[in-house]
Structure 1
């Protein structure tokens, strides 16, 4: 492998691994803020126990995630110096604000939240967690503002071979960002929700602290359903936006070599042959691609061959077709993951409304435990589709990948750092899994007073339940 391929592999591995932690922080901080809000409003101690228990997972994730972010910055500066010089003036503002405002907001108030239970008033302590949650979302906003520039450059001028920002407002109102941000945020909410629901399902299977984990599951599964619906809604809007701004990516995600028929069918499965630029066996759903692209059951979609000819006229000779198989299947994995999340959360909400969680089918609870992985699979495959489908561009229409790598870094140096970073990441992953499992095994009510009777806040009949029996 040459230096470009190795640098791309390292960037992909470090980014994917770091993104395991980002959505957990965003999702868990929101759920904990909701739980503590209910504690302050309803004055039910069970909500406090819930916020404290799930807060342990947030703290573990936050600590490990910071380390992965630092390593990511190292490889970024080392392997992609030409890219850094080209976009530095544009990226400087959003990344500086992300670090100085959003991250400091998170780290400051998460400390106050941890040590302020007995030192701050309930309202001030609650405000700390809401500020942590807002900080995580603001952090995502500024990072995605930079990424959106790579997808659709706006608010810049080229000067001395570099992109220089001319309009920060254009950067923040980039159409790519307006669809990408809510899509990503809802995916993060779903990640936290499925983590809490999955661990709760596991504890309910073992009949441990049932009065604690039933309401935890209920809160999480409601957030999971709302978030999964939000993912689908904004993902649909983002796909339609891609038809306008990055039609080659959309055509590759559909394995569409020639312009589609009108109305256009959506391909569920295709045997793709990139060298011959044809597909073999295909399974299609009539009309669906037209609806996904234009919200109507009519309209054709341009194919990659047609777009290749247009791009050659605009950008010069070269191949502008991305890795089609990767783009095609990553899109379908993302869609499949999101669809299963909607179905599982719908059934979970049904069980919660019918008060049948304690007697729920064991298969469903086992599926919910396994479903902890679904948001990660969906988010990872979605980002692979987003970044790989933009090839051969690092910054669409402005900077190619081969022109973005560091000219003075050898393939051997990149390989050494790739192996080193991968080893560190593997150790961090093992540490995180160990700490998560150890925390999940704890009895969240062990510290409660023996004489205290905590009531299931969702129990409409009253009377409460002895959670220490």
Structure 2
């Protein structure tokens, strides 16, 4: 083991951990804004209760997401300084806009929303949560645009004198065809997580606390179920387009997702394969005929290049070397991504069926399913990103920089091990804090929304009150 191996593990662990918070923040910000809009338009108390209830869960997750996200920025300079030097001119623009515009938009208006209850006019207060939600999604847009450049570099030139990639067309970076499909695919996955949490908490209260705010929780269960099902459909549609684009820009990733070593006409997609660890030999395989060809090219009879042919082409183009990712990781992460997402949609459909019209279910198996429901899309999102990033290996910037060339050359193994251990322990503590806070406030149920006593004009300068 050397510093490169530990640096990769550290970045992988901290990134996956941070991303556990991101999709919930993105999706829940919009769902809370929708709930408050319903209250603003109808005046019904149940929507106000749900807004404040899920708003509190959103805020807990938002704060933990910020704390864990700060580490990501530092790692570029600490362990990956050669990579940062190479891509700094490209990454500087979208990440600066994300910090100076999107993040300040969401944080500023979120502050107004938190402290503005009963102080701001209702319309302005509603606009605050919508502005915060828009800022959250804009943050995702710019970060994903930067990541998509690593998958498919565009709008730049390489300066051999400085050894850096230099930005020539910022619009090309923002309209990168990989970014244009990765963004809606990722946002759909975020709403899948948020909808699942809404369903899970509502069903728990409907079954465990029967007769308490039943009308509000039944609405939340149905609302969250529809969001989950619609998001799952959007994930499938955008994922299909994304796979076809990936076949154009990174055919090795798609071949590795199937463990397809030889080029095939009308290639099948294996649901399950039992064989050698690298997938080169199979003893048993459950396959769907022609599906891989459809996923890759939109044509059931099209040709799909195999790993061996792509490896030979890359060796001729980029020089001698192994350009094949770790096959078991890409194969199984791709399938886990699909499996966990489908399970989430099925559970949501079950909830929707059992709560149709004015019905409510007390089925203990439904309760158990609801409790694990939020974990399913979280796992799907995590495995999706593991597949995306590991499938690009050995490239850190596809076709331009190998991962081994991006690591900091002056950082020792001991230094990386120390920071890796520290981050892992800190994140473990934060995980306990996050789970305890979410469970504590989720179990409390809907808040009391009795209006506070009126203040006279002499008290206009009273301190701001935290609404939660």
Q: Give TM class, smaller chain.
A: over 0.9
Q: Assess, with a 3 A threshold, how the Cα gap between structure 1 residues 312 and 274 changes in structure 2: closer, same or farther.
A: farther
Q: Assess, with a 3 A threshold, how the Cα gap between structure 1 residues 185 and 276 changes in structure 2: closer, same or farther.
A: closer
Cα distance in 2 between the residues matched to 1:73 and 1:276: 36
Partner of 1:317: 320
1:351 pairs with 2:381? no
SS of structure 1 residue aligned to 2:165:
strand
1:129 pairs with 2:133? no
Partner of 1:236: 240
Give the C-alpha shift of residue 359 in structure 1. 2.5
Cα contact 2:49–2:447 (8 A) shared by 1: yes
Give the C-alpha shift of residue 350 in structure 1. 3.1
The Cα offsets for residues 113-172 of structure 1, whole Å up to 9 and x where unpaired, read as: 011111111111111111111111100000001100000000000112100100001001
**Length, aligned pairs only:** 447
Where do 5+ consecutive residues of structure 1 fail to align?
Answer: 450-469
Cα contact 2:198–2:224 (8 A) shared by 1: yes
1:148 pairs with 2:152? no
Give the C-alpha shift of residue 272 in structure 1. 4.8
Q: Residues 205-244 of structure 1: matches in 2 within 5 Å?
A: 205-208=207-210, 209=212, 210-244=214-248
Partner of 1:371: 373
Partner of 1:405: 407
Return the TM-score normalized by structure 1.
0.93
Cα contact 2:259–2:279 (8 A) shared by 1: no
Cα distance in 2 between the residues matched to 1:71 and 1:430: 18
Where do 5+ consecutive residues of structure 2 fail to align?
Answer: 452-468
Q: Residues 194-343 of structure 1: matches in 2 within 5 Å?
A: 194-208=196-210, 209=212, 210-260=214-264, 262-273=265-276, 277-343=280-346
Give the C-alpha shift of residue 275 in structure 1. 6.3
The Cα offsets for residues 49-76 of structure 1, whole Å up to 9 and x where unpaired, read as: 1101111111111111111111222223
Give the C-alpha shift of residue 277 in structure 1. 3.6
CA RMSD of aligned residues (A): 1.5
Cα distance in 2 between the residues matched to 1:359 and 1:365: 9
SS of structure 1 residue aligned to 2:392:
coil
Q: Assess, with a 3 A threshold, how the Cα gap between structure 1 residues 175 and 121 changes in structure 2: closer, same or farther.
A: same
Cα contact 1:201–1:366 (8 A) shared by 2: no
SS of structure 1 residue aligned to 2:303:
coil
SS of structure 1 residue aligned to 2:158:
strand
1:389 pairs with 2:353? no
Residue in structure 2 matching 1:166, options 165, 168, 176: 168
Partner of 1:459: none
Cα contact 2:266–2:300 (8 A) shared by 1: yes
Give the C-alpha shift of residue 226 in structure 1. 1.0
Give the C-alpha shift of residue 202 in structure 1. 1.3
